Amino acid sequence: MEQLRKFARYFGPYRWYLAGGIASIAVSLAFGLLVPYLVGLAIDDLGQGVTWEKVVFYPLIILGANLMSGLFLFSQRRLLINTSRHIEFDMRNDFYAALVPQPLEFFHNNRIGDLMARATNDLAAIRQIVGPMILYSCQAIFALIIVLPILLNISVKLTVLLLIPMPLVSLTVKYLGGQIHVRFEKIQEFFSDITARAQENLTGVRVVRAYAQEDAEIAQFEKLNREYADQNLRLVKFAAAMRPMLFFFIGLGFVIIVAVGVPMAVRGEITAGNFTSFILYLQRMIWYLIALGYVVNLYQRGTASLKRFNAILETEPTIQDDEIAHEQPTIKGAIEFRDLSFAYGNITTKKTEHIEKANGNNSVSSVGSVVRNVLEDISLQIAPGQTVAFVGKTGSGKSTLMNLVPRLLDAPDGTVLIDCKPVRAFPLQQLRRAIGFVPQETFLFSDTLAENIAFGVDSGKLKLDSASASGPDQLSAIRGQLSVESAAATAGLADDVRSFPKQYLQLVGERGITLSGGQKQ
C-alpha cells in the first residue's frame, strides 16, 4: 500500500478524468444490469398473455439498455486508458529528471540497461494499474453493490447458497496473487540483465568484433534469454491456473443454484422470470469475479514495478547545490588545490542500498570499505590563463583531479577553490557552464555534427538549415551556422566535414560510430 500511496500523487492533474471514467463505469453497469431484470419481467409478463405491444416493447427497451451501456462503456475506456497513458508520460519524465542530476557514483552502481528497463518495461506494468486495474476493479465492486441486493430481493436462500464457494475463491486469489508478485519481481530483474547485456554489447560492438567475440556474446545473451524465458514460464503456470480455478469454484456455486433453484421454480416458490433473472445476474457476476482475478494479477505486477521505479525517484543526488551556494561574479579562472586528499572509498551510498533492497537484495556488500587515497596532500595554484598539464601513470588520479573541479566528484570542504572561493560556493549550473570539459573518453550523441559541436550552447539546438528559414529565423540560422563552422575550423575539423555528403547535417551515429577516433576527438 505504501507504493500505491506514493503513486497516487500522479492522479491529481487527472482527477476529473478519473472521476468521469469511474462515473461512466457506474452508469454503464446500471444500464447493463437492467437487462436481466427486463428479461425476467418479460418472461413473467408474456407468460400472462402475448400481445404485439409486449412483443415490440420488451425487445426495444432491452436493446436501448444495451445501447446506453455500450456508449458509457466506450466513455469509461476512453477516459481511463487515456489517463493511464498521460500518467505514464509524466512518470517517465520524472524518472529521467531523477537520473540526470545523479553523480558518477550512481552510474557506477547501476547499469544503464537496468535503468532503461525500469523506464520501459516497469512503467508499462505500472500503467496497467491506472487503466485496466481501475477499470475492472470498479466494475467488480459496483456490480457487487448493485447485484447483491437484487439477488437477495429475488431469493435470500439462493443468494446464501451462492456465497458458499466464495472463501475458496478468496484463498485462491490470495495464494496465487502472492506467487505472481514474487515471480514477476524476478522477471523484471532478468529483463534488466538482458537489457543491460544488449546495451553494453551494441555500444561496444567494435570491441566485440575486434576480439572476435561475436559467438561468445551471442551464447551469453542466449543463456540470459533462456533464464528470462524460464522465469516467465514459471509465472505463466500460476497466472494460467488462476482463471480456471476461479471458473471452477464460481461454477460450483452455479451448479448449486441450478440444483436448488429449478425445484423451487417448479414448486412455485420463485417465478420462472425471477429465476431466469437470477441466473443472468449470476452469469454477469461470474465475469466480474473472473476479472477480479485478473486485477490481482495486474496489481502484483504493478506494485513490483512500482518498488523498482520509486527506488530511483527516492535516490537524492549526493552532489547538489550547497547551502552556501549563491550566484557569484563572473568566474575569472583561478584554480587552487589546497591540501587535497581524496579517496573513492565505499561508493555504495545509503540510497543505492535502498535500490538494491528494492531489487530483492537484503544486504549490501561493503566493497571499498578499506579506503585508499587516490590523491594525497595536493596543493597547487593555477593562475587565470595559465596552461598546466598533469602527467602520470595509469591510476595516478589525473582524471579524478579534473572531475573534482566541476564537482563531478565531491572533494572535501575547502580543498578545491576557484577565484579563492570553495567550489561549493558556486551553484552547479554556474560552475559547470564556466568550465570547458573534454573527457578522456570521447562521447558523441546520435545526432548531426552541428548539434554535437553546439552542444551546451545557451540558445539550445542550432537551426542550420537556413534555406528553409525566413526573416529573423534565417538570420539566426546563418549566425548559428557561422558559429559552428568557426568552432569546427578551430578544432581542425572543417576539412573533414566538407568530405561528408551532408556536411554539418551529417548524422554521426551511436557514440559517433561513423567517425574515426581522431575525428571524434
Q: How far apart are CA 209 and CA 204, in angstroms?
A: 9
Over 283-337, what HEC string results?
A: HHHHHHHHHHHHHHHHHHHHHHHHHHHHHHHCCCCCCCCCCCCCCCCCCCCCEEE
Sign of CA dihedral 40, 41, 47, 53: negative
At residue 395, the 3 state secondary structure works out as coil
**Is residue 467 pLDDT above 50, yes or no?**
no
Q: How far apart are CA 193 and CA 163, in angstroms?
A: 46
Helical H segments across 359-470, by residue range: 398-404, 428-433, 449-453
Contact 280, 39 (CB under 8 A): yes
Q: How far apart are CA 458 and CA 436, in angstroms?
A: 14
Paired residues of 126 in beta bridges: none
Full strand arrangement of the beta sheet holding 375-382: 375-382, 335-342, 416-418, 421-422
Average pLDDT, the chain: 75
Contact 249, 165 (CB under 8 A): yes
**Is residue 366 pLDDT above 50, yes or no?**
no
Cell numbers 559552428 correspond to: 484
Q: How far apart are CA 178 and CA 171, in angstroms?
A: 11
Q: So what's the pLDDT on residue 322?
A: 72
Tell me the per-residue pLDDT of 388-414, one tens digit each, with 9 for 90 and over: 888 888 777 777 888 888 877 777 888
- Buried b or exposed e, range 379-415, using 16+ CB within 10 angstroms: eeeeeeeeeeeeeeeeeebbbbbbbbbbbbbbbeeeb
Helices vs. strands in the chain: H and E counts, helices first: 20, 4
What are the backbone angles phi and psi of residue 416, rounded to the nearest 5°? -125, 125
- At a CB cut-off of 8 Å and minimum separation 6, what does 275 contact? 40, 261, 262, 264, 265
C-alpha cell at 476: 539566426
Instruction: Please name the amino acid found at residue 412.
Output: P
To which H or E segment does residue 382 belong? strand 375-382
Burial of 494 per CB tally in 10 Å (0-12, 13-18, 19+) = middle
User: CATH for 335-433?
Assistant: 3.40.50.300
Q: How far apart are CA 275 and CA 264, in angstroms?
A: 9
| 421-422 and 416-418 beta bridge pairing | antiparallel
Tell me the per-residue pLDDT of 47-73, one tens digit each, with 9 for 90 and over: 777 677 777 787 888 888 889 888 988
Q: So what's the pLDDT on residue 425?
A: 81
Phi-psi region of 397 (alpha: psi -120 to 50; beta: other; left: phi over 0): left
Q: What is the mean pLDDT of residues 490-514?
A: 71
Tell me the per-residue pLDDT of 40-54, one tens digit each, with 9 for 90 and over: 777 777 777 767 777
pLDDT band, very low/low/confident/very high, at 516 (cuts 50, 70, 90): low
Sign of CA dihedral 397, 402, 407, 412: positive
What are the Cα distances from residue 205, in Å, to 96, 213, 221, 283, 510?
Answer: 26, 10, 14, 57, 11
Q: So what's the pLDDT on residue 471?
A: 43
Answer whether CATH 1.20.1560.10 is correct for domain 15-313.
yes
Secondary structure letter of residue 411 according to DSSP: P
Tell me the per-residue pLDDT of 230-268, one tens digit each, with 9 for 90 and over: 888 888 777 777 777 777 877 787 788 888 888 888 888
Sign of CA dihedral 174, 179, 182, 184: negative
Tell me the per-residue pLDDT of 196-220, one tens digit each, with 9 for 90 and over: 777 777 666 666 666 676 777 778 7
Domain residue spans of the chain? 15-313, 335-433, 449-520
pTM for this prediction: 0.67
- At a CB cut-off of 8 Å and minimum separation 6, what does 251 contact? 286
Secondary structure letter of residue 407 according to DSSP: T
Instruction: Please name the amino acid found at residue 280.
Output: L
Contact 32, 147 (CB under 8 A): no
Burial of 202 per CB tally in 10 Å (0-12, 13-18, 19+) = exposed
Count CB-CB contacts under 10 A for residue 115: 21
Instruction: Please name the amino acid found at residue 383.
Output: A
Q: So what's the pLDDT on residue 347?
A: 39
- At a CB cut-off of 8 Å and minimum separation 6, what does 240 contact? none
Q: So what's the pLDDT on residue 269?
A: 82
Q: How far apart are CA 141 and CA 466, in angstroms?
A: 60
